[in-house]
Structure 1
Amino acid sequence: MNLARTSKIVAQAFDAAMVEAGGTLPLWVTLLSVKSKELANQRELAGMIGIQGATLTHHLNAMEAQGLLTRRRDPQNRRVHQVELTEAGEAMFEKLRLAAIAFDKRLRAGIPDERLAEFADVLAALRANAEIKPPQS
């Protein structure tokens, strides 16, 4: 319960930091995902973000209307859309990136690096344990 409660509080605080910077958590994750690849198609992007294609389409439509990205059909496969950031998208990415860095710094304040490293190891072990399927009886 402690992990779930902490995760929820941190996620809400991060979302608030994104809103304060002029964005949202879904906007940040989408910009980050597009930025991390030269070109990403919508199907791959939805998988990277962990949302359904229809939800991603809604986000992309809004971002395209705001002038943050462009979509075009892949010449090799007309069913696939390629997604790229515009200049405005790059500027929003940078603004939200700085807000994310500031949030991370605030979140880690007062915690020594060695404790953070140990915590990262504990989180990795928790993820691994959660992925282990119990034996069938």
Structure 2
Amino acid sequence: MNLARTAKLVAQAFDTALVEVGGTLPVWVTLLSVKSKELANQRELAGMIGIQGATLTHHLNAMEAQGLLTRRRDPQNRRVHQVALTETGEALFEKLRLAAVAFDKRLRAGLPDDRLAEFAEVLAALRANVGG
């Protein structure tokens, strides 16, 4: 229960930090996923983000309407949409990246590297214990 409460609180605080600079957690994760891969198709993108295709389509429609990204059909496979950031999307990505870095610094404040490394190992063990 402690892990779940902590995860929820940290996620809410992170989302608040992103909202303060004009984004949200779903927008950040989507921009980050697209940015990390030159052109990602929607199916791969949904898998990287860990959401269903219909949910991703809803997010992409809104982000495309805001001018943050473009989608186009893959010339080799018309059923596949390729996703890319626009200049506006790149600018928002940078703002959100800076907010994420600042949040991470705040989150880790006062924790020595050896304790953080041990914590990362504990989290990995917990994931392994549940099959993730």
Measured after TM superposition, the shift of residue 12 of structure 1 is: 0.5
Instruction: Give the distance between the partners of 1:123 and 1:52, measured in 2 at CA.
Output: 25
Please list every run of 5 or more consecutive structure 2 residues that lacks an aligned counterpart in the other structure: none
Higher Cα Rg, which structure: 1
Please list every run of 5 or more consecutive structure 1 residues that lacks an aligned counterpart in the other structure: 133-137
Provide the residue aligned with 1:36 in structure 2.
36
**Normalised TM-score (structure 1):** 0.95
**Normalised TM-score (structure 2):** 0.98
The alignment yields a C-alpha RMSD, in angstroms, of 0.9
Instruction: Give the distance between the partners of 2:78 and 2:29, measured in 1 at CA.
Output: 26
How do 1:14-25 and structure 2 match up within 5 A? Answer: 14-25=14-25
Provide the residue aligned with 1:99 in structure 2.
99
C-alpha deviations, 1:43-97, integer Å up to 9, x for none? 1101111111111111101111111100000000000000000011000000000
Provide the residue aligned with 1:115 in structure 2.
115
Identity of aligned residues (%): 88
Residue 131 of structure 1 aligns to a residue whose secondary structure is: coil
Provide the residue aligned with 1:84 in structure 2.
84
C-alpha deviations, 1:99-126, integer Å up to 9, x for none? 0000000000000011000100111111
